[in-house]
Chain A
């Protein structure tokens, strides 16, 4: 072998060796499972007995409809659609959270003393364990002695039975989620704000722009990469909400706080319907993927990068 070839061969080998630990994990715990999961979608399997190939039955069961005599068209798996709607509801927290954290970031961006203390406080919920926070908020939402209803009682308002009321359970969990994540979003916006060059503001001031105009025509558009990132990550994260519901309400009352991720968990690890659970997981992925592509195409066009 010529010297050049030998060196090339050696470099290839070195590359692969460096890659080896990481890529074995990649193959074993990411790539192969993805393929296996795809296969599982077309089977019915409870791990104990052997897997049975059933074609598209899982998907038909999940997404299909049938005619029920006397009732009309009915979904094959009404629970799926209910939990899907629940998941979408939770995602309403994304835009609300963005507004709140933007306001906080704007306030943090003024050169104030003691900023570090505020940052410390705002970030504490972010780094806290979701289980501990969920427990705490379960107590806060206690209808008779919890912090929230006590607060309302001051004003003579009788607060609802938050986590036991099908109407209020979802907003309750959503509010907790926003409380927990506000610090994180605020920091992202803060970093974005600090990246906006002062020149833009000077130019707009020379043009006679008011504070509001400066915000709406300079700040807000130049933050679009952050908006965009938060929307995409928010949706992807929203599809995976699980722990909050599991700890706070066990998915209730009457399944009003069960999410798709929770449904997958139940199907796989409570009812051992591995095939069905995999099918749901793939549908979830495709939905998240579709939304992400949609956002990329439509919202991405309006993002201004530096």
Chain B
């Protein structure tokens, strides 16, 4: 075989490779997205249209009012407010406390620093089931069950966030910090004026997946809330299911309502979501 024939073969092989890849991804992508389309389709149907075989993909008529009915059936506005308030508070709290602690572990010298950090790492292995019972009991004794405190305060501290930021802070060159010290900058000043601005990608990533984690958290809000007024979106949605067990049009509309905000935020900020998940993965 001469040169051009070999090249042609190589090109053909590459083309076949690409076609195979596209096929795999298309099938995978279809499997991923069809359930969502199904959800959307069901949410816009009238109740009678749902129990029809074979199913109609495009509902006739399109019942937008299902969304209004679902919204009013349980206090979704309350759930949204709670979710937003709790997620924002926990995220801000975690970022703040983790920055401070990470800086201490990375750049400050104090007695017991290494041992304490190891202690942090060790506790990251303990599953939530172990600590949730005593924390629940503590909150009950404080009369904090079914309050915002119960939803927010236990979540403000994070060993994981501290660990992640500490690793990142340690990569900041010493020269910058020493220069600031010579200029008479306080430690807090160094943290806020130098370290944090240089770490915005890592901090943004931590903030993103913390926010997402709290927003989607189900078990803890389930445990600490009782009244409808205090439930977050996931728990509220589960309650909705309890009340409308087979009202599929409303159930799908409610699910869509719960999913849309996150999906919209995600589509426009993919970089942070993807980076956050991958960062948490590889470094682990």
Chain A residues close to B by CB (< 8 Å): 11-12, 14-16, 18-26, 28-34, 36-37, 40, 47, 103-104, 106-108, 110, 112, 116-132, 135-137, 139-140, 142, 144-145, 147, 150, 153, 179, 182-184, 187-188, 191-192, 226, 229, 233, 236, 239-240, 242-243, 246-247, 261, 264-265, 268-269, 274, 277-278, 280-282, 284-285, 288-289, 292
CA distance A295 to B191 in the complex (A): 39
Query: Quick check: B212 and A127 within 8 Å, CB to CB?
Result: yes
Quote the shortest CB–CB distance from B177 to chain A (angstroms). Answer: 14
> B97 in the interface, Cβ–Cβ < 8 Å?
yes
* CB under 8 Å from chain A, chain B span 71-121: 96-98, 100-101, 103-105, 108-111, 113, 116, 119-120
Query: Quick check: A187 and B39 within 8 Å, CB to CB?
Result: no
- On chain B, the number of residues with a Cβ less than 8 Å from chain A's Cβ atoms is 97
Task: Please give, as numbers and ranges, the residues of chain B lying within 8 Å of A18 by CB-CB distance.
Answer: 100-101, 103-104, 108, 187, 191
Query: Quick check: B103 and A284 within 8 Å, CB to CB?
Result: no
For A36, the closest partner residue in chain B by CB is B134
CA distance A288 to B128 in the complex (A): 12
Quote the shortest CB–CB distance from B126 to chain A (angstroms). Answer: 6
Where chain A touches its partner, the secondary structure class is: helix
Beyond the given pairs A107-B20, A108-B21, A243-B218, 17 more chain A to chain B contacts, judged by CB atoms under 8 angstroms and listed by A's residue number, are: A15-B113, A30-B131, A33-B138, A107-B25, A110-B21, A122-B29, A124-B33, A135-B255, A136-B255, A139-B248, A140-B38, A144-B53, A182-B32, A191-B282, A240-B127, A285-B127, A289-B125
Query: Quick check: B126 and A121 within 8 Å, CB to CB?
Result: no
Number of A-B residue pairs at CB separation under 8 A: 282
Where chain B touches its partner, the secondary structure class is: helix
Quote the shortest CB–CB distance from A104 to chain B (angstroms). Answer: 5
> B278 in the interface, Cβ–Cβ < 8 Å?
yes
Task: Please give, as numbers and ranges, the residues of chain B lying within 8 Å of A15 by CB-CB distance.
Answer: 104, 108-110, 113
Query: Quick check: B29 and A187 within 8 Å, CB to CB?
Result: no
Query: Quick check: B129 and A284 within 8 Å, CB to CB?
Result: yes
Interface mask (B144-169 → A, CB under 8 Å = 1, otherwise 0)? 00000000011011010010000000
Contact among A130, A191, A281 for B278, CB-based, below 8 A: A191
> B179 in the interface, Cβ–Cβ < 8 Å?
no
Query: Quick check: A122 and B28 within 8 Å, CB to CB?
Result: yes
Query: Quick check: B238 and A131 within 8 Å, CB to CB?
Result: yes
Task: Please give, as numbers and ranges, the residues of chain A lying within 8 Å of B154 by CB-CB distance.
Answer: 25, 29
> B205 in the interface, Cβ–Cβ < 8 Å?
no
Query: Quick check: B32 and A124 within 8 Å, CB to CB?
Result: yes
> B202 in the interface, Cβ–Cβ < 8 Å?
no
Task: Please give, as numbers and ranges, the residues of chain B lying within 8 Å of A21 by CB-CB distance.
Answer: 96-97, 100-101, 156-157
Interface mask (B244-259 → A, CB under 8 Å = 1, otherwise 0)? 0000100110111011
Query: Quick check: A123 and B273 within 8 Å, CB to CB?
Result: yes
Query: Quick check: B134 and A40 within 8 Å, CB to CB?
Result: yes
> B267 in the interface, Cβ–Cβ < 8 Å?
yes
CA distance A119 to B271 in the complex (A): 11
> B133 in the interface, Cβ–Cβ < 8 Å?
yes
> B135 in the interface, Cβ–Cβ < 8 Å?
yes
Quote the shortest CB–CB distance from A209 to chain B (angstroms). Answer: 14
Task: Please give, as numbers and ranges, the residues of chain B lying within 8 Å of A14 by CB-CB distance.
Answer: 104, 108, 110, 187
Task: Please give, as numbers and ranges, the residues of chain B lying within 8 Å of A26 by CB-CB distance.
Answer: 120, 123, 157, 159
> B170 in the interface, Cβ–Cβ < 8 Å?
no
Which of B119, B127, B136 is the most central at the interface, judged by chain A CB atoms within 10 Å of its CB? B127
CA distance A68 to B154 in the complex (A): 45
> B197 in the interface, Cβ–Cβ < 8 Å?
no
Residue pairs across A and B with Cβ atoms less than 8 A apart, 11 shown, are A15-B113, A18-B101, A18-B187, A19-B104, A21-B101, A135-B241, A179-B32, A192-B282, A268-B133, A278-B130, A292-B125
Interface mask (B4-21 → A, CB under 8 Å = 1, otherwise 0)? 000000000000011011
> B34 in the interface, Cβ–Cβ < 8 Å?
yes
Given known pairs A37-B134, A240-B129, the reply for A247 and B238 (CB within 8 Å) is yes
Given known pairs A18-B100, A25-B156, A233-B284, the reply for A11 and B53 (CB within 8 Å) is no
Query: Quick check: A25 and B157 within 8 Å, CB to CB?
Result: yes
> B274 in the interface, Cβ–Cβ < 8 Å?
yes
CA distance A21 to B157 in the complex (A): 8
> B230 in the interface, Cβ–Cβ < 8 Å?
no
Interface mask (B210-240 → A, CB under 8 Å = 1, otherwise 0)? 0010011011001100000000011101100
Quote the shortest CB–CB distance from B46 to chain A (angstroms). Answer: 14
Query: Quick check: B218 and A131 within 8 Å, CB to CB?
Result: yes
Given known pairs A21-B97, A145-B51, the reply for A139 and B252 (CB within 8 Å) is yes
Quote the shortest CB–CB distance from A157 to chain B (angstroms). Answer: 14
Query: Quick check: A132 and B237 within 8 Å, CB to CB?
Result: yes
Task: Please give, as numbers and ranges, the residues of chain B lying within 8 Å of A147 by CB-CB distance.
Answer: 34-35, 38, 55
> B137 in the interface, Cβ–Cβ < 8 Å?
yes
Contact among A28, A132, A191 for B281, CB-based, below 8 A: A191
> B54 in the interface, Cβ–Cβ < 8 Å?
yes
Query: Quick check: A103 and B281 within 8 Å, CB to CB?
Result: no
Contact among B22, B127, B259 for A239, CB-based, below 8 A: B127
Which of B38, B50, B187, B274 is the most central at the interface, judged by chain A CB atoms within 10 Å of its CB? B274
Task: Please give, as numbers and ranges, the residues of chain B lying within 8 Å of A47 by CB-CB distance.
Answer: 137, 140
Task: Please give, as numbers and ranges, the residues of chain B lying within 8 Å of A29 by CB-CB distance.
Answer: 131, 135, 153-154, 157
